[in-house]
């Protein structure tokens, strides 16, 4: 629920982040990316271009992959956000995080949180994607370091592991 009676133009905004209810005070047009990083201390989502072109700020909003640099926080009111910080379970990495580590899918790491969330989104929709479907699913996320091959291999590896263990992404 959102309370519009806040002072100084800020509003009380409620949303769920990584499964936890959070209440924040923010200007309605503040970027979700800034609220996550500056208000909530979740610095996994990165700012690359700030214009919706690179995908480094990607998060899931009600299961949909969004560029958080383009989402006014008011639009996220009442929604459920998943960031990279919400994927691991205690000390156990998410299968995609393990696969990125093992396949060399992360180098400088700037693109990695967004890439992994794009991959989560892809594997939720297509549990056994082809290599072309993986490339298409990650096409909104840019990487300057890896040449993409290891990233695509990491997602394929995670899909294989998930289907053999029947775990969910
Ligand atoms: S920082 Fe959001 S898409 Fe580049
Ligand atoms: S690992 Fe550096 S931008 Fe992708």
Q: What is the whole-number distance in angstroms between the Cα of residue 33 and the centre of ligand 1?
A: 9
Distances 119 to 3, 8, 12, 20 between C-alpha atoms, Å: 35, 39, 32, 23
Q: How far is the CA of 147 from the centre of ligand 2 (A)?
A: 9
Task: Provide the H-helix boundaries in the chain.
Answer: 32-34, 95-103, 112-125, 131-137, 149-165
Chunked into runs of 10 residues, the chain (169 residues) has average pLDDT values of 63 97 97 98 98 98 98 98 97 97 96 98 98 98 96 98 72
> From the alpha carbon of 55, which atom of ligand 1 is closest?
3
The SS3 of residue 26 is strand
116-139 burial: b if 16+ Cβ within 10 Å, else e: bbbbbbbbeeeeebeeebbeebbe
Q: What pLDDT shows up at residue 8?
A: 72
Distance from residue 5's CA to the centre of ligand 1 (Å): 31
Which of 141, 146, 153 most suits a substitution to test ligand 2, by most atoms within 8 Å of the C-beta? Answer: 146
Question: What's the pLDDT score for residue 164?
Answer: 85
Give the predicted TM-score (pTM) of the model. 0.93
pLDDT at site 165: 77
Ligand nearest to the CA of 144: 2
């Amino acid at each position: 629920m959102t309370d519009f009676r806040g002072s100084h133009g800020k509003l009380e905004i409620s949303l769920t982040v990584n499964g936890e209810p959070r209440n924040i005070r923010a200007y309605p047009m503040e970027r979700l990316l800034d609220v996550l990083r500056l208000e909530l201390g979740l610095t996994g989502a990165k700012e690359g271009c700030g214009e919706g072109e690179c995908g480094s700020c990607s998060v899931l909003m009600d299961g949909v992959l969004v560029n958080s640099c383009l989402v006014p926080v008011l639009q996220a009111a009442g929604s459920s956000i998943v960031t990279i910080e919400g994927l691991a379970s205690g000390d156990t990495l998410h299968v995609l995080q393990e696969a990125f580590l093992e396949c060399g899918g992360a180098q400088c790491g700037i693109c990695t949180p967004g890439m992994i969330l794009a991959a989560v989104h892809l594997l939720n929709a297509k549990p056994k994607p082809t290599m072309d479907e993986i490339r298409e699913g990650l096409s909104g996320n840019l990487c300057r370091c890896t040449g993409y091959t290891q990233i695509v291999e990491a997602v394929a590896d995670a899909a294989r592991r998930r289907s053999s263990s029947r775990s969910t992404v």
